[in-house]
Amino acid sequence: MTDSKKAPARPALKAVRGTRDLLPDQTRLWNHVETTARNLFARYGFGEIRTPVLEVTELFARGVGEETDIVSKEMFTWEDRTRAAGEGARGPESKAQSLTLRPENTAGVVRAYIEHQMANSGALRKLYYIGPQFRRERPQRGRYRQFWQIGAEVIGPPSSGSESPLRDAEILEMLASFLDDLGVRGWRLELNSVGSSQDRVRYNEVLRAALQPIRSRLCADCQRRAETNPLRVLDCKVPEDQVLIGALPRIADHISADSQAHFDAVRAALEACGVPYHLNPRLVRGLDYYTRTTFEFTVTTGLGTQNALLGGGRYDGLSEMLGGPRSPGIGFAIGEDRLILTLQAQQEEDAKGSGAAPRELLDAYIAPLTPAQNPAALSLARELRSASLRIEVGDGSFKLRKSFEIADGLARHIVLLGEDEANSEIYTVKAFANGEQTRIPRAKLAEALRGLQSSSTNFVQ
């Protein structure tokens, strides 16, 4: 085929809109966040749970609520044809099942809690998860169609103390510690109570009546919500609706004495722990299963006007809604993508004075001086890596100057490996931080690199 008749090149394939690849220079921070979460949650007695990303659609329709935006607009749902039990081939006996990529994970965790009969022990269950969720929404900064959440749930029979306001306060105190451990600055805890399920029914009627005179002036979504689920109007983010919403009756004025006492006890425990909070009477969250305590943590850096970093609340009736035993609970979900954006924005602020963001370096770069030393270099690298050091191996085809240039951008030290070093097993090591060069026997190399590592900074500007 002549050049003039070549078939047109196929366009390069790209990630689906609303999804993205996380490359090694990005995942370092993700791993740090997740390791911090795992270590902290373990100190509070939480264990990890991993649930499927696929669930039956009914789980979210019953648990999250059919009138929520998540269920009515944002779920990835399809009919999956599954063979009937015992059938060897697809046929008339096969049936369609509606499946959904999970848009949130609380309902899935509670489903697992019921399915595996965790309530039977009578003990309080503390469970956490880290994983992807999926929503069909318009991608924008910090919001993706595949996004990541770090979440936790505390659930158990009433006899386990699962209804106690202490559990609410403990969750909030743990989240404050988590953000502090990560170095998140300027976080703000917003707190409210939406009362019991009975309180919500009464308040919904009050709210529905108050919405009727102004319904036509609200956005299209709120006009629909005003009739089907009035409480969702309070969760509206349309700027033009805020003045109207601000004048509506407050749920705080319509909760029972028991709900008020529970909320007062949560606040008292937070004050005893020194965790600051701000009352937000309009905070209802966007899911139908919430009762009593609801909360959000917001930040001032990295997220723009949509500044919610994480949120959650109590869901005392969710287990029963999903066909399980009475097991009150409380939980939260952290938008990990949004948390990473916040940390990156704060790092950029910190790095303005230095002109560059810090980057993590390896412990050493082994530079074989000729190709003949390549096997010995790999053997040495294996030994040092077994000692928990982070090592890169060069290629003996590089010139010495080129090896120094590469090593200076990757590692704190360069280890030179020529014929003399291979025979004597005494290596020339240079530290880039101060330019010092020394000779170190193989038997002491790992210890020396670790000592040099502990006495030098972990980052280079």
Q: Which amino acid is located at 119 in the chain? A: A
Which range has the worst mean pLDDT, 97-106, 167-176, 277-286?
277-286
What value does the mean pLDDT take over residues 63-84?
76
Same domain, 176 and 305: yes
User: Residue 122: which CATH number?
Assistant: 3.30.930.10
Residue 260 lies in a domain: no
User: Over 60: is that where the pLDDT of 429 sits?
Assistant: yes
In a domain, 16, yes or no: no
Percent of the chain with pLDDT over 90: 54
Measured in degrees and rounded to the nearest 5, phi and psi for residue 89 equal: -145, 160
pLDDT at 4: 57
State whether 331 and 363 are in the same domain.
no
Mean pLDDT lowest among 176-180, 213-217, 255-259: 213-217
Whether 431 is in a domain gets the answer: yes
pLDDT of the residue at 452: 63
**Are residue 66 and residue 113 in the same domain, yes or no?**
yes
% residues pLDDT > 70 (the chain):
89
pLDDT at 233: 83
Domain that holds residue 366: 359-460
- The domain boundary, picked from 349, 376, 401, lies at 349
CATH code, 445 = 3.40.50.800
Count other Cβ atoms within 10 Å, centred on residue 130: 20
Last residue of a domain, one of 297, 314, 349: 349
Confidence of residue 276 (pLDDT cuts 50, 70, 90): very high
**Is 10 within a domain?**
no
In terms of average pLDDT, the best of 215-224, 293-302, 329-338 is: 329-338
Give 48 or 237, the one with higher predicted confidence.
48
Check residue 84 and give its pLDDT.
46
Average pLDDT over residues 270-298: 88
Q: Residue 209 is encoded by which pair of tokens?
A: 């009546």
381 and 342 in a common domain = no
Residue type, 94: S
Helix (H) or strand (E) holding 94: none
Say whether pLDDT at 60 is over 70: yes
Q: Are 35 and 131 part of one and the same domain? A: yes
Q: Averaged over 362-382, what is the pLDDT?
A: 93
Q: Is there a domain that residue 266 lies in?
A: no
Residue 245 shares a structural domain with residue 345: no
Q: Are residues 154 and 140 in the same domain?
A: yes
Q: How far is CA 196 from CA 90, 160, 188, 211, 252, in A?
A: 48, 19, 25, 22, 11
- Inform me whether the pLDDT recorded for 434 exceeds 90: no
Q: Is the pLDDT of residue 459 over 50?
A: no
Q: Rounded to 10 degrees, what is the CA torsion of 32, 275, 252, 280?
A: -60
Boundary-marking domain end, from 349, 373, 403: 349
Higher pLDDT among residues 71 and 42, named by residue: 42
| Dist. CA 356–CA 349, nearest whole Å | 10
Strand 291-298 to 308-314 pairing: antiparallel
User: What average pLDDT does the segment 395-403 reach?
Assistant: 88
User: Token pair of 327, please?
Assistant: 């097991």
C-alpha–C-alpha distance, residues 230 and 286, integer Å: 12
Position 460 scores a pLDDT of 32
Question: Looking at residue 456, what is its pLDDT?
Answer: 41
Whole-angstrom distance, CA of residue 298 vs CA of residue 303:
9
Above 50 in pLDDT, residue 404? yes
221 with 283, same domain? no
For residue 91, pLDDT beyond 70: no
How far apart, in whole angstroms, are the C-alpha atoms of residue 461 and residue 310? 32
Burial of 426 (0-12, 13-18, 19+ CB in 10 A): middle
- Is residue 176 included in any domain, yes or no? yes
Q: Rounded CA gap, 63 and 69, in Å?
A: 13
83-97, 140-154, 355-369: least confident range: 83-97
Question: Per residue in 374-392, pLDDT tens?
Answer: 999 999 999 999 999 999 9
pLDDT (tens digit per residue) in 137-162:
777 777 889 999 999 999 999 999 99
* More confident of the two residues 396 and 116: 116
The mean pLDDT value of the chain amounts to 86
Q: Report the pLDDT value the prediction gives residue 123, as an integer from 0 to 100.
A: 94
| The token pair that represents 62 in the structure block | 């019953």
Compute the average pLDDT of residues 311-323: 92
- The confidence band for 67, taking pLDDT boundaries of 50, 70 and 90, is low
- Examine residue 389 and state whether it is found in any structural domain, yes or no: yes
Evaluate whether 365 touches 411 at the Cβ level (below 8 Å): yes
pTM (2 d.p.)? 0.82
Q: What gap in Å lies between CA 330 and CA 61, rounded to an integer?
A: 20
Residue 313 has pLDDT above 90, yes or no: yes
Helices (H), 89-212: 106-115, 165-182, 197-211
DSSP 71: I
Q: Which of 15-24, 30-39, 148-157 is predicted with the least confidence, judged by mean pLDDT? A: 15-24
Same domain, 299 and 248: no
- Structure confidence at residue 322 (pLDDT): 92
Q: How confident is the model at residue 101 (pLDDT cuts 50, 70, 90)?
A: very high
